[in-house]
Amino acid sequence: MMKKILFTLIAFVAWMSAEAKVIRVTLADGTMQVFTTSQLSSIEFNGDGTLSIVTYDNKVIDLEFDEVVIDEQEIIYETMDYVLNFEANVDGTPINLHQERPAIRMNFVYPSTDPDGEPITLSGSILIPQNIWTHEKPCQGVILYNHYTIFNRTEAPTRGFDTLEGMLLANPLNPDYILVESDFYGFGVTERFPQAFLQGTVNAHASLDALLAARRLLDEMGFDYGPLTFNVGYSSGGFDALAVQKCRDMEYSDQISFDKTFAGGSPSDVKECYRQYVQIDYSAYNAVPLLLMVSTNDTQHMNLDYEDVFQPGVAALIDEYVQSKNYSSWPVCDIVGRDKMIHEILADDYCDLMSAKSMELQNLFEQLSIATGWTPDPSQRLYIFHSRADDYVPVQAARPILSYLKENGFHPNIIPGATNLQTNFVVPKLGHLSATLVYLVQTVAALKAWPVMYKDGQMNPVYQAIVSEKPSPVEVMRYLDSMGFDCRALIKRVIDLLSEISEGGVTLPIDPSVIEGSVNQALAQLGLTTEDILEMSADSGLDITGSIMELVMYLAENPEEGDEILEPEGDEKITELGDGDEIIETEQGGDALKLRSVRQIPVVKYEQQLNKWLEAKIYK
């Protein structure tokens, strides 16, 4: 009786406090269940050695118990066998690859903070591949994984739902890492509260605190979790991964350092994402505008009336289909109507970007964006990926972060390891879901290659020598020229063939407007424009304009008399460059570069010779 009264009093005090407590129930069979006070409405002790737990959503759990303890420890966990599955389904198309990897899932609760900065207990999960758990394979490190957008409470990581877990760890490369992830505020043990969708600071604290708690837990177990730490996320998880990096730089730099952050498909600029939704009047994933408005209203205490925020038919759906967490996102899209335009979802004031209500919301979204109040640490490495045809997260909402990072000591380049900011904004046609696979392939390949490319944080000197030179294409050609291979003649010959020149030659205009028109016509067949190409090159650290001008100048140069082209294989011989019909001559005058082919030189001969030269250099 005393135990019951003591427990009831302590539990009551815990419920009334801002900080949730952990309740461990040891059952009659010796097993244990873990709850927090934020999950429970009441606990009733029965006289027959059982107790009835009523959760906040009125579910009744009857248990035979041996002991009930209010636990003051910071971290409590439970361990279970688990199977990671690699099964891809992209835009409704299954990828015919199935692979399983046995793992141990450890669900744990740990201290963190809520949206108001008050202490709270959150839940998270640690996934350890079984061959690492049994020490058959050494662990290379920890992946801090930030889950993508979820609606249903059953989709929380501690429920074992997230499919990207398997795609990261159970893919054919089988990277030797363990994975740590938070449920985030609003799921797991805090599922009674509204979720913090695109609330970067809240989710960043939850994720970073989960990593620190997991380290402490693994240390207490004597488990070696390796030297590397990566920060990973796609979609809203990509946003949270960048928010984690931002929070790490500003608040956790003395406790955590990432070897690299891999963020894909992220709406980094929340304000621009909202503006694009309104301007385009469309989203292929129209449950997200609902969730963005509801989550921001709840976590930022805006006190908006949803009758004023949404069109009447949509406003009536919010309680049942968004706030209840009883439905996944696609059923929500279906009930809203997948073909509905944004102006049919949001109220008129929020579809007018110049209205007072919209401007107030945009100001708040600007504060939620990643590139606000962040002093990035340039010693950290980042990879940012986005498809230009993303139909969930407009690319315009992802690009501003690149400009911000460039202003703060980061230098983009598409080549891994070339700088502290690797980018890939050159995928032109894939939608949000399809592009996930591109992001995953590149991320997993990097995770697998990292122990070879880097040791103790330092790049492999062989690879370092390759990427540090950063040669331009023309610099490579000049190097080949110095080795005796005439790239100039080869390029001009290719131009001849592609231009289908007549016997008298062809004139290629240099006037930029004329060139742009010709190039645009060719690019249009690929669904691209020159503006797209220039934008992609800038995003990926490539100076295409400069490279083109450098190439034009290179082609206009006259080689010194007496320079020779190496002999192709076979009987035919290309003689020295000099007077006569054996050369490709150039004449430059006015605004045009004139190319005249005098002799048909088989391109295949140059290709054979180049391959022969490369083989000699590589395999000497």
Per-residue CA distances from 321 to 48, 257, 289, 317, 550 (Å): 40, 39, 13, 6, 58
- 61 within some domain: yes
Worst-scoring range by mean pLDDT, 220-229, 242-251, 547-556?
Answer: 547-556
* Those residues with Cβ within 8 angstroms of residue 348's Cβ, 6 or more apart along the chain or in another chain: none
504 lies in which domain range? Answer: 471-618
Say whether both 407 and 507 belong to one domain: no
Categorize the per-residue pLDDT at 555 as very low, low, confident or very high, splitting at 50, 70 and 90: low
Assess whether 509 and 612 both reside in one domain.
Answer: yes
**Model pLDDT for residues 409-456, shown as the tens digit of each residue:** 998 888 788 889 999 887 777 888 888 888 988 898 889 888 888 877
- Check: CB of residue 265 under 8 Å from CB of residue 235: yes
Among 12, 43, 71, which residue terminates a domain? 71
CA 616, CA 613: separation in Å to the nearest integer? 5
- 133, 104 contact by CB (below 8 A): yes
On the 0-12 / 13-18 / 19+ scale of CB atoms within 10 A, 594 is middle
Q: Per-residue confidence at 562, pLDDT binned at 50, 70, 90?
A: very low
Clarify whether residues 130 and 37 are in a common domain: no
Q: Is the pLDDT of residue 458 over 50?
A: yes
pLDDT tens per residue across span 163-184? 788 888 888 888 999 999 999 9
* Same domain? 249 vs 379: yes
The DSSP bridge pattern shows strands 141-146 and 177-182 to be parallel
Least confident of 37-51, 287-301, 559-573: 559-573
**Count of alpha carbons within 13 Å of 573, Cβ hemisphere only?**
4
* 327 and 209 belong to one structural domain: no
Select, from the ranges 155-159, 478-482, 557-561, 604-608, the one with the highest average predicted confidence (pLDDT): 155-159
**Domain identity same for 26 and 119:** no
pLDDT number for residue 142: 97
Q: Cβ contacts of residue 594 below 8 Å, gap of 6+?
A: 505, 506, 507, 508, 586, 587, 588
Q: What does the alpha-carbon distance between residue 329 and residue 150 come to, in Å, rounded to a whole number? A: 7
pLDDT of residue 588: 37
Higher pLDDT, 133 or 550: 133
Residue 364 falls inside a structural domain? yes
3 state SS of 410: coil
The verdict on residue 228 lying in a domain is: yes
Task: Give the span between the Cα atoms of 256 and 454, in whole angstroms.
Answer: 18
Whether the predicted pLDDT of 604 surpasses 60: no
- Domain-embedded: residue 466: no
Q: Determine the pLDDT at residue 592.
A: 30
Edge to edge, the sheet with strand 585-589 lists 506-509, 592-596, 585-589
Q: Is 375 left (phi over 0), alpha (psi -120 to 50) or beta?
A: beta
Per the CB < 8 A criterion, the answer to whether 295 and 325 are in contact is no
pLDDT at 593 over 60: no
In one-letter notation, the amino acid at residue 575 is T
Q: How far is CA 473 from the centre of its chain?
A: 29
pLDDT at 550 over 90: no
What pLDDT digit, counting tens, does each position of 3-52 carry? 333 334 333 333 333 345 566 666 666 666 666 655 566 666 666 777 77
* Amino acid (1-letter code) at residue 275: R
Helix (H) / strand (E) element for 59: namely none
The first and second tokens of residue 30, run together, are: 């010796």
Nearest one of 323, 103, 76, 107 to 194, comparing CA atoms: 323
The more confident residue out of 458 and 586 is: 458
CB 389 within 8 A of CB 429: yes
52 located within any domain: yes
Do residue 100 and residue 182 come from a single domain?
yes
- Token representation of residue 416: 């891994």
Do 423 and 503 reside in the same domain of the chain?
Answer: no
Residue 581 has pLDDT above 50, yes or no: no
**64: domain CATH number?**
2.30.30
Q: What is the per-residue pLDDT for 31?
A: 64
Structure tokens at 547: 């490279």
Tens digit of each residue's pLDDT (9 = 90 or more) over 128-159: 999 999 999 999 999 999 999 888 888 999 88
Euclidean distance between CA atoms 243 and 204, whole angstroms: 6
In 221-328, alpha helices (H): 236-247, 270-280, 287-299, 306-309, 312-315, 318
Give the mean pLDDT of 581-595.
33
Q: Are residues 541 and 477 in the same domain?
A: yes
Instruction: Please list, residue by residue across 68-84, b when 16 or more beta carbons sit within 10 angstroms of its beta carbon and e when fewer do.
Output: beeeeeebbbeeeebeb
For the stretch 496-510, pLDDT in tens is 544 443 344 444 434
Q: Please check the confidence at residue 618 and state whether its pLDDT lies above 60.
A: no
**Count of domains forming the chain:** 4
Q: Which residues, other chains included, contact 161 with Cβ-Cβ below 8 Å and sequence gap of 6+?
A: 150, 154, 155
* Position 501 in a domain: yes
Please state the rounded mean pLDDT for residues 564-569: 38
Q: What is the SS3 assignment for 69-108?
A: EEECCCCEEEEEEEEEEEEEEECCEEEEEEEEEEEEEEEE
Listed residues 368, 389, 415: the one ending a domain: 368
Element (H, E) at 264: strand 260-264
Question: What is the torsion angle, in degrees rounded to the nearest 10, for the CA atoms of residue 521, residue 523, residue 528 and residue 529?
Answer: -60
Do 89 and 16 belong to one domain?
no
- Residue 240 neighbours by CB distance under 10 Å: 33
**Do 241 and 262 form a contact (C-beta atoms < 8 A)?**
yes
Name the domain boundary from 402, 432, 461.
461
Same structural domain for residues 417 and 339? no
In this prediction, residue 547 has a pLDDT band, given cuts at 50, 70 and 90, of: low
- Write down the mean pLDDT value for the chain: 75
Distance (Å, whole) CA 234 – CA 230: 14
Amino acid at 66: D
490 pLDDT band (50/70/90 cuts)?
A: low
Q: What gap in Å lies between CA 343 and CA 522, rounded to an integer?
A: 36
What DSSP designation does 347 have? Answer: -
Q: Is residue 65 part of a domain?
A: yes
Segment 90-136, tens digit of pLDDT: 555 555 567 788 888 888 888 888 899 888 888 899 999 999 999 99
Neighbours of 30 (CB within 10 A): 7
Quote the percentage of the chain above a pLDDT of 90. Answer: 27
pLDDT band at 466 (very low <50, low <70, confident <90, very high): low
Is the pLDDT score of 601 beyond 50?
no
The residues that bridge with 22 in the sheet, in sequence order, are 36, 71
**For the ranges 322-326, 513-517, 545-549, which has the lowest average pLDDT?**
513-517
pLDDT at 614 (0 to 100): 44
Residue 612's pLDDT is what?
52
Instruction: Note whether 350 and 309 are within 8 A (CB).
Output: yes
* Contact assessment for residue 172 and residue 99, using Cβ atoms and an 8 Å cutoff: yes
Give the amino acid at 242. L
Tokens 């049919």 belong to residue: 344
320 has a pLDDT exceeding 80? yes
- pLDDT above 50 for 527: yes
More confident site: 461 or 21: 461
Output the CA torsion sign for 253, 254, 260, 261.
Answer: negative
Summarize the confidence of residues 570-596 as an average pLDDT. Answer: 34
CA dihedral over 274, 277, 281, 284, signed as positive or negative: negative
80: pLDDT strictly greater than 80: no
Structure tokens at 317: 């759906």
Q: Are 125 and 302 in contact (CB under 8 A)?
A: no
Q: How is residue 128 written in tokens? A: 């350890």
Distance spanning both ends of the chain, measured CA to CA: 86
CATH code assigned at 88: 3.40.50.1820
Q: Using alpha carbons, select from 282, 245, 240 the residue that is nearest to residue 261.
A: 245
Question: Does 364 share its domain with 378?
Answer: no
Is residue 220 situated within a structural domain?
yes
| Token pair belonging to 280 | 């385009």
